[in-house]
Amino acid sequence: MNMLEVDGVGHTYQGKDGAYTAIDGLSFTVGMGELVCVVGPSGCGKSTLLRSIAGLLRPSRGTVSLHGNRVDGVPSDLSVVFQDYSRSLFPWLSVTRNVEFPLRRLSRSERSTRAGEALDAVGLGGAGKKYPWQLSGGMQQRVAIARALAYRPALLLMDEPFASVDAQTRFELEDLLLRVRREQDTTVLLVTHDIDESVYLGDRVLVLSKSPACVVADLDVPLGSSRDQITTRASEQFVELRARVAGMLQGGPVTVR
């Protein structure tokens, strides 16, 4: 079953200087339990696409459906992790309270269990009483991921989630994501401008064209479920795929799956 269906989605912004079409005729699906990466050049319309899926923007054309239900407003079973963790956590709430925040409708004990499990999953089991400003950037982004996971969303949307941390932390967080989605069977759509990251993380990579963005390729990533920062990135398949994606982003030959 498809968790997400994006069908013919296009959006035209109306501004003082006239109309500007940011995305056009975007169509793709994400199956249950899949991790799909969307990669495209800066300014091609990735955020516009993400906002349309999250129900934060009503696209001018086309439809978005989440497990069969048309998105028309913010779906209740969706979590988003943004790039800027410093603005997505509440500095006056402890780590545990931050993670529990979206779970207000659950009982106190259920909230506490879910937050504890999510913090354990991201390796922050002992940090619940700390405040975000007492943690490193990488740890704060782990809290944001824990909060998203504790909510148990049908779809986890991630917008350049590792772009604001240093390279070593980025690798650790990428591996963390691969592990938790394996353990929890989470469906993930991750937007990035980093070609290597899209190939390393994705079961599939959707390559977008320049604005107005459309899907120029939908590539399977046959690297298996067990990936390693050193050996996977050095493998022939990885190198070949990243070169293909890079070629497409530079306007080279397009191969559609």
Determine the Cα–Cα distance for residues 10 and 168; give it in Å rounded to an integer: 37
Q: To the nearest whole angstrom, how small is the minimum distance from the Cβ of residue 48 to ligand ADP?
A: 3
Q: To the nearest whole angstrom, how small is the minimum distance from the Cβ of residue 188 to ligand ADP?
A: 18
Half-sphere exposure of 213 (CA within 13 A, CB side): 26
Cβ distance to ligand ADP smaller for residue 10 or 132: 10
Cβ distance to ligand ADP smaller for residue 22 or 149: 22
Determine the Cα–Cα distance for residues 150 and 163; give it in Å rounded to an integer: 22
| DSSP for 2-51, written as a single string | EEEEEEEEEEEEEETTEEEEEEEEEEEEEETT-EEEEE--TTSSHHHHHH
Q: To the nearest whole angstrom, how small is the minimum distance from the Cβ of residue 159 to ligand ADP?
A: 8
Cβ distance to ligand ADP smaller for residue 15 or 68: 15
Q: To the nearest whole angstrom, how small is the minimum distance from the Cβ of residue 191 to ligand ADP?
A: 7
> SS3 for 161?
coil
Cβ distance to ligand ADP smaller for residue 22 or 135: 22
User: DSSP alpha helices (H): ranges in the chain?
Assistant: 46-53, 85-88, 95-100, 108-121, 137-150, 167-184, 195-201, 231-234, 236-249
Q: To the nearest whole angstrom, how small is the minimum distance from the Cβ of residue 152 to ligand ADP?
A: 27
Cβ distance to ligand ADP smaller for residue 44 or 214: 44
Determine the Cα–Cα distance for residues 86 and 32; give it in Å rounded to an integer: 30
Amino acid letter for position 126: G
Which residues in this chain contact ligand ADP in the complex, by CB under 6 A? Answer: 13, 15, 20, 22, 40, 42-48, 211
